[in-house]
Amino acid sequence: MTRERILVVEDEEDILQLVEYNLRTEGFAVTGVTSGEAALRKVKKDPPALIVLDLMLPGVDGLEVCRRVKDDPAGAGIPVVMLTAKGEEADIVAGLEMGADDYITKPFSPRVLIARVRAVLRRRDFQPPGDSEVIRIHGLVIHPGRHEVLIGEQPVSLTLTEFRVLHFLAGRPGWVFSRYQIVDAVKGEDYPVTDRSVDVTIVGLRRKLGDAGGLIETVRGVGYRFKE
């Protein structure tokens, strides 16, 4: 069986070797490069199944690499997992809004790295439900056509915005979305809203969902996700 190939972009040799070793141990085929320019050449020549991308690179940095990959139709579908130093919350948000699929903070556990990579690859193959498809997850039933949410057999009364946010997040379990991404998905890009408005909607959702409200997880400094 062909092993899935992962491109690792990291300019620190010790970290590059650590990531390569652990991915190979788990059965992946790995190519490592130390610059953004080399990464872009590799992606163009032989697109990988996934990119592990450091943000702090000499020359073309990780955010620019992510942007170029996602803007290219040939690379738009390649998942990107960012490697970032703690405290770079603005870069994390920028990367996710450019299309990155997940992030790992340095220093990191190799076990966490492998788990995140496998989760992103699973999500790559996951087809989110259509706008009219009923979602059943963690005891919740979300019915778009009826604008109905059930916990067990008990209906939950939600506003239109609360329902759209829940439907959007629950349709992509495990995916992290920034507040701006949530707004774009449920209101449209031109809808005037603040970060605080999204937070207020999430608070209301959690309260109305009761114990199930914990399924909506806060990713500190980034946004929200629905439990996988």
Domain ranges for the chain: 5-124, 135-226
**pLDDT tens sequence across 71-103:** 887 787 888 999 888 666 777 777 777 778 888
CB 33 within 8 A of CB 7: yes
pTM check: above 0.75: no
Please count the CA atoms within 13 angstroms of the CA of 225 that sit on its side-chain side: 14
pLDDT of 130: 62
**pLDDT tens sequence across 189-216:** 555 555 677 888 899 899 999 999 999 9
In whole angstroms, what is the distance from residue 223 CA to residue 2 CA? 36
In whole angstroms, what is the distance from residue 139 CA to residue 141 CA? 7
Choice between 17 and 86, residue whose per-residue pLDDT is larger: 17
> SS3 for 103?
strand
As a CATH number, domain 135-226 is 1.10.10.10
Q: Using 50, 70 and 90 to split pLDDT, how confident is the model at 151? A: very high
- Mean pLDDT for the stretch of residues 180-197: 67
Most confident segment among 156-160, 186-190, 214-218: 214-218
CATH superfamily of 5-124: Response regulator (3.40.50.2300)
